[in-house]
């Protein structure tokens, strides 16, 4: 397989990521449906000239949820659906009232001249390559998270988006909600004083049996397993790996819960503190309590060093107690973000936050005005930017800084040691083995375009 120099990826077009740009707010508590997360229900009637023609790649799970929301927009028309599994294609066509063409190979969708944008909702190992090829085909891209597994892939995605003037949006839809906006405004107000530590937590109890065990079997006749694998190294077919959502339990596909949920959770501190590249990453953990066929750690602790502060990630799958407890309701928070300043602590999750004074330093919480613009939601924002050609708030360039600690934390865990990062050179300092692992080792004939 051809190797690519890091120099090929570090010369990307400059431009500020829209980390505080067009963002969205839902004034009420978020519901467990994509329609609620995406924002307000679309209204009005679109003229044909305003219609955004979409194709979707990956029609199960997240793909189905995204289709269900986007199809309600009056300015959207789905022209194509794509999935390597025939039943998924048939269900997608039915969901879209038979008005979309179905394909097995995503390249057939990219070849369509009438399609303006594509939604990439496949398992994560396909996200970088499909996004890049879609940009090169002149399509705007809404890509589910995680967007990449290495910084080299991330930079290649940025390069493809900028070189082809494409609109991109990474599917961290929580970025659009009101609570995240408010937390960003509170942190940026300076009320907490100097922040030395940001803690992020994701805990759940899946002990002791996790996803259990299933034998390898022959793939079903109506599944193109080779195309599902794509750039992955060969793997036997297993229903546990293929089932909707369960790819997240296999390290070769998603890495760990840091990769799976980290893009949602780390997004908040990266946004609030305008975080760029970390100086170092260190991660330790293992599979200590879960007895199943998954290959991800069930316990992982990571520390990321930035100029003037550190950020931590804590994940355990054998206990669900989180960083914060909502004392008013007695609810233990399994997912938490904590900003620890000299004056006080701000604890948050997706739709809740609380300020805790350090002694009497924040005895009176200052009135912080709303300064960030709101929009109609993550999906709505993408459609509007497709028309206006503005950057989305979760453009791939913004998400590079969200995914960088995730990628480096995963690398540190694999290596079993702390690593030091040179972002200008896109390399781990003085570590040949680590830099070799940064290379995306795609299975032939798939290669990362330069």
Q: Which domains does the chain have, with CATH numbers?
A: 7-174+376-399+432-438 (3.40.50.720)
Coil, strand or helix at 332: strand
Rounded-to-integer distance, Cα 46 and Cα 69, Å? 16
Which strands sit side by side in the sheet containing 344-348, from one edge to the other?
A: 353-357, 344-348, 335-341, 195-203, 309-316, 299-306, 280-286, 419-422, 427-428
Cis preceding-peptide flag for 240 (omega within 30 of 0): no
User: Which pLDDT value is given to residue 244?
Assistant: 78
Query: How many of the other CB atoms lie within 10 Å of CB of 60?
Result: 20
User: Which pLDDT value is given to residue 216?
Assistant: 97
Alpha helices per DSSP H over 189-329: 225-229, 239-242, 257-265, 267-272
Residues whose CB is less than 8 angstroms from the CB of residue 171 and which lie 6 or more positions away in sequence, other chains included: 62, 66, 121, 142, 143, 144, 145, 378, 394
Report the residue count for the chain.
450
**Angle, CA of 195, 197 and 198, to the nearest 5°:** 100
User: Which pLDDT value is given to residue 321?
Assistant: 83
Residues whose CB is less than 8 angstroms from the CB of residue 383 and which lie 6 or more positions away in sequence, other chains included: 52, 70, 73, 75, 76
Rounded-to-integer distance, Cα 109 and Cα 381, Å? 23
What are 420's strand-pairing partners? 280
Residues of the chain with pLDDT under 70: 1-49, 323-333
Q: Are 168 and 131 in contact (CB under 8 A)?
A: yes
Maximum distance among all Cα pairs of the chain, rounded to whole angstroms = 67
Rounded-to-integer distance, Cα 196 and Cα 191, Å? 14
Residues whose CB is less than 8 angstroms from the CB of residue 68 and which lie 6 or more positions away in sequence, other chains included: 34, 35, 95
User: Which pLDDT value is given to residue 401?
Assistant: 98
R_g over Cα of the chain? 21
Q: Report how far apart, in Å, the C-alpha atoms of 333 and of each of 180, 181, 286, 319 are.
A: 16, 20, 23, 12
Q: Are 77 and 54 in contact (CB under 8 A)?
A: yes
> Taking Cα atoms as reference points, which of 427, 404, 431, 406 lies closest to residue 418?
431
Rounded-to-integer distance, Cα 262 and Cα 145, Å? 9
> Taking Cα atoms as reference points, which of 148, 123, 268 lies closest to residue 202?
268
Q: Are 298 and 306 in contact (CB under 8 A)?
A: no
User: Which pLDDT value is given to residue 414?
Assistant: 98
Coil, strand or helix at 196: strand
């Amino acid at each position: 397989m051809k190797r690519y120099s890091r120099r090929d990826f570090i010369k990307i077009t400059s431009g500020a990521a829209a980390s505080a740009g067009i963002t969205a707010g839902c004034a009420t508590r978020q519901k467990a449906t994509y329609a609620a997360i995406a924002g307000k229900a679309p209204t009005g009637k679109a003229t044909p000239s305003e219609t955004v023609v979409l194709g979707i790649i990956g029609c199960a799970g997240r793909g189905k949820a995204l289709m269900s929301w986007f199809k309600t927009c009056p300015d959207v028309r789905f022209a194509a659906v794509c999935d390597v599994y025939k039943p998924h294609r048939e269900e997608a066509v039915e969901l879209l009232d038979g008005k979309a063409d179905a394909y097995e190979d995503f390249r057939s969708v990219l070849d369509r001249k009438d399609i303006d944008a594509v939604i990439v909702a496949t398992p994560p190992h396909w996200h970088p390559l499909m996004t890049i090829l879609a940009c090169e085909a002149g399509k705007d891209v809404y890509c589910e998270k995680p967007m990449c597994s290495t910084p080299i892939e991330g930079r290649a995605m940025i390069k493809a988006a900028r070189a082809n003037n494409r609109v991109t949006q990474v599917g961290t839809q929580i970025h659009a909600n009101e609570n995240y906006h408010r937390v960003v405004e509170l942190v940026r107000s300076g009320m907490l004083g100097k922040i030395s530590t940001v803690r992020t937590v994701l805990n759940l109890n899946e002990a002791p049996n996790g996803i259990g065990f299933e034998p390898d079997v022959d793939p079903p006749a109506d599944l193109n397993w080779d195309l599902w694998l794509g750039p992955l190294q060969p793997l036997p077919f297993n229903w546990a790996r293929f089932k909707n959502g369960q790819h997240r339990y296999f390290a070769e596909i998603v890495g760990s819960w840091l990769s799976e949920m980290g893009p949602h959770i780390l997004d908040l501190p990266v946004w609030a503190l305008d975080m760029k590249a970390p100086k170092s990453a260190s991660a330790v953990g293992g599979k200590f309590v879960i007895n199943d066929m998954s290959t991800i750690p069930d316990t992982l602790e990571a520390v990321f060093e930035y100029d003037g502060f550190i950020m931590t990630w804590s994940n355990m799958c054998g206990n669900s107690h989180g960083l914060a407890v909502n004392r008013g309701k007695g609810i233990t928070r399994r997912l938490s973000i904590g900003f620890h300043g000299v004056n006080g602590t701000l604890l948050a999750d997706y739709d809740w936050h609380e300020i805790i004074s350090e002694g009497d330093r924040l005895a009176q919480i200052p009135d912080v005005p709303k300064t960030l613009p709101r929009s109609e939601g993550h999906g709505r924002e993408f459609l509007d930017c497709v028309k206006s050609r503005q950057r989305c708030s979760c453009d791939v360039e913004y998400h590079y800084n969200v995914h960088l600690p995730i990628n480096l934390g995963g690398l540190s865990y694999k290596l079993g040691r702390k690593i030091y990062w040179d972002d200008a050179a896109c390399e781990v300092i003085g570590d040949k083995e680590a830099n070799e692992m940064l290379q995306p080792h795609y299975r032939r004939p798939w290669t990362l375009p330069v």
